[in-house]
Amino acid sequence: MKRKKKKSKKFINYIRNQIYSKQFLELNRKSDKDFTRKRKLTFPKIILFMLNSIKKSLQKELTEFFLNFSNEKNITNSAYSQSRMKLNHTAFIELNDGIIKEFYTDNIFDLWKGFRLLAIDGSRIQLPLSLEIIEYFGFAQNQGVVPIPMVQASSCYDLLNNMIINSEIDRYETSEYNLSLKHLEKCQFEKDLLIYDRYYDGMWFMFYHILKKKDFIIRMAKNSITEVQNFFNSNEESKIIEITKLHIDSKNQLKKLGIEFIPFKIRLVKVILDNGEVEVLATSLLDEKKYPNKEFKWLYGKRWGIETNFDHLKNHLMIEDFTGLSSLSVLQDFFVSMFMANMQQILISEAQDELKKQKKDTEYEYKINKNLSFGFMKDRFVKILLEKSTLLLLGREEVVLGFFINSERSFT
C-alpha cells in the first residue's frame, strides 16, 4: 500500500550538515594535510560541484558553477583535477549510507508481507582509456588487439521503493558472487527478501543466506543439481528438498569463507512465464500456506526493476561518462551517481505525493517523468544545499511544475 513519504527537508539537512562538518572532512580526505589551507576549491565546494551532474565539458561546468554559486573566478580544469585528488570517494559512499539509514529508520515505505523486496545484480561498465585505470580495474580484450578498460559493478536495489541500498565496483574479473556478499553486509533490515537471476544459483550461496538469516528467491538453471532437474521434468508445482551435500566448488567457496556446511532445506516452486516457458525458483520461504505458489511469478517479475534501474543509470544519468583518467576519479564519479540517483528518487516520491493531491479530481493519473526530472535537479539541488534556510524545497508547487511533469493516461 502506498503511503506518504517523509519530507525531503530532513534529508537535505543531513547532507548539508555532513558536507560542512569537520569530522566528515577528516574522514574523507586523502591525507591529514589536505584541505587545511584556505583555497578557492574548498572541501564543501568540491563536493557540491561533483554533485551537480557534470556532463558538459569540465571547464565549462567549472565556469558556470562558480559563476552561479561562488564569487571565485578563473577556476581551471587543472586546479580542479589536482584538488579532487585530495578527496576520497568514500565521502559519497558515506553520504549515500546516511540517507539510506535515514530513509529506513524514520520513514514510511513499502513492504511485501513485512519484507523489503531487494534484487542484486551486476553489470560491466566501460571506463576511460588510461594506463593507471587499466592497472587498477583491468580490461577486456577487443578481438585480442586493443584493451578496453572495464569494471565489474553490482547493485542491491529496493524494488518497491526504488532505492539503491548499496553499490560496489571492483576489477573486471571480479566474481559477482563476491560483490553480492558485500551487499548482504549492508542489508540490515529485520526482514529482507533477496531476488536473484539464475547466475546466482550456487548452493553454497543459498546456505550463506540462511546462515545470515536472509530469505531469497533464485531462478534456477536447468542443468542444476539432480533434484532441480527432476523437478523441472515433474508435474509438481512446489516441493521442499534437503541439500545434504555440496559440489566441490561450493565446498571450496564455504572453505574460503571459513564456514562449515550443515544440511539445509529449500523449496522449489514452478512458475509459467507469459510466453509459456516454465521456470523453477528456489526459495527459503518454506511455508506453502503463508507463501502460496501463485505469489512467486509476481515476486520474480518484480526483479525487472533492477534491470530498469541499470538502464536509467547508464542512459539517463550517464554513469559511463567519466570526468577523469584516474581510478580515483572513476570511483568518485560512480558513487556520486549512486547517491544522486537516490536523492532523485526521494524528491520524485515527494513530488508525486503532491501531484496526486493537485490532480485528485482528474480523469487520468499523472506521473513525474523520471528521466527529465534529473535534468531539473541540476543547479537547483546545489542551491538548496547552499540555502541557510530549508524553505526552498522541492516539495510544493515548484516541484510539481518544475519536474517536467509528464501525464500518463491510465484509467483510475
Three-state SS annotation for the chain: CCCCCCCHHHHHHHHHHHHCCHHHHHHCECCCCCCCCCCCCCHHHHHHHHHCCCCCCHHHHHHHHHHHHCCCCCCCHHHHHHHHCCECCHHHHHHHHHHHHHHHHCCCCCCECCEEEEEEEEEEEECCCCHHHHHHHCEEEECCCEEEEEEEEEEEEECCCCEEEEEEEEECCCCHHHHHHHHHHHCCCCCEEEEECHHHCCHHHHHHHHHCCCEEEEECCCCCCHHHHHHHCCCCCEEEEEECCCCHHHHHHHHHCCCCCCCEEEEEEEEECCCCCEEEEEECCCCCCCCCCHHHHHHHHCCHHHHHHHHHHHHCCCCCCCCCCCHHHHHHHHHHHHHHHHHHHHHHHHHHHHHHHHCCCCCEEEECCHHHHHHHHCCHHHHHHHCCCCCCCCCCHHHHHHCCCEEEEEEC
Question: In CATH, what number does 110-312 get?
Answer: 3.90.350.10
| pLDDT computed for residue 144 by the predictor | 64
Contacts of 9 (CB under 8 A, 6+ apart): 390, 393, 395
Which pLDDT score is estimated for 395? 43
**In this predicted structure, what is the pLDDT of residue 145?**
74
Q: From first to last of its 412 residues, what are the pLDDT tens digits of the chain?
A: 344 445 678 899 999 999 999 999 999 999 999 998 888 889 999 999 999 877 768 888 888 888 888 777 778 899 999 999 999 999 999 999 999 999 998 778 999 999 999 999 999 999 999 999 999 999 998 766 788 999 999 999 999 999 999 999 999 999 999 999 999 999 989 999 999 999 999 999 999 999 999 999 999 999 999 999 999 999 999 999 999 999 999 999 999 999 999 999 999 999 988 888 899 999 999 999 999 999 999 999 999 999 999 999 998 889 999 999 999 999 999 999 999 999 989 888 877 766 666 666 665 566 666 666 677 777 788 888 887 554 444 444 344 334 434 434 333 3
* Domain map (residue ranges) of the chain: 8-90+331-411, 110-312
pLDDT at 105: 87
User: Do 270 and 187 form a contact (C-beta atoms < 8 A)?
Assistant: no
User: How many residues would you count in the chain?
Assistant: 412
d(CA 13, CA 95): 12
Task: Provide the grid cell at 282.
Answer: 528456489
Alpha-carbon distances, residue 121 vs 7, 150, 196, 376 (angstroms): 30, 17, 7, 29
